[in-house]
Amino acid sequence: MLTNRHCKRISSSSSSSIPMAVPKALPCHDLTHLSDFDALLSGDDYISICGYGSLLSERSARSTFPNLVNFRIARLTGFRRLFNSVGAIFFTHRVANIKTEEIAGLSVEPCEGEIIILVVFEIKKTEIPAFIERERIYRFLAVVPESLDGKPFTNPAVLCASYTDEDFFKFKCSEGRGKYFERYGEYKIHKIWRDDVLPCRVYLRHCVLGAKSLGEEVYKIFLDHTFLGDRKTTIREYFEKEGSKIMEEEPPESLKIRYGG
């Protein structure tokens, strides 16, 4: 279902001071039912969530999960970040540019030899159903993040990973394609998971600022190990082509906090 085409192994000559040696990826498995999420709960009924895009900003994360606890930096082996999902929220808030196809949000997919730096935090059991519904276009995986020095976390965490349209409509969208795409109709969007779209500018700016808020090394890793949907072009290379204009984009009032960096 998910391929590892065009994976790039992290160079041992990386200038990052964050340890980036690539050990064998820790195991992961799919979460398909609510009971699968319940199995990841801690003794006090909290569950760990991975954030790798907008949730890199703690302020933004708290706009979605106001009661989150234990927000911290982690790393995840065997995955890469890429902009390959058409974000419904971008159309709702009118920040998608359909003419230039700058309509993509972030996802992650398995990729041997890659490491991503992300954040992990905990939410209460009662928040799980809303989380599942809000992120339903994704494949849910249970993964084991690590501390920056490579020590595996005690509890697995939930990761929203890349999916396919075929599997989404087969397994997770009983309403069918017509119902789900009612909100996209006027934009002629008929596919969620694509490799031919570009990042939504306001969203990309926000993710970059979120990474930078976690430190210069996290910022550098985001630029060099996050890819466009083509799985070849890094965000640093994309910025070199686009100049600094993307970072000058300002979110609309409705997204000032959520996408404000």
pLDDT at 7: 65
pLDDT at 21: 57
pLDDT digit string (tens) for the chain, length 261 residues: 444 445 654 543 345 667 665 566 667 899 999 999 999 999 999 999 999 999 999 999 999 999 999 999 999 999 999 999 998 889 888 899 999 999 999 999 999 989 999 999 999 999 999 999 999 999 999 999 999 998 999 999 999 999 999 999 998 888 888 877 776 766 778 899 999 999 999 999 999 999 999 999 999 999 999 999 999 999 999 999 876 688 888 888 878 778 876
- pTM for the full model? 0.89
Q: Tell me, what's the pLDDT at 249?
A: 83
pLDDT of residue 40: 96
pLDDT, residue 1, reads 40
In degrees, to the nearest 5, what angle opens at C-alpha 204 toward C-alphas 202 and 206? 70
Domains of the chain: residue spans and CATH: 29-255 (3.10.490.10)
pLDDT of residue 146: 95
pLDDT score at 2: 42
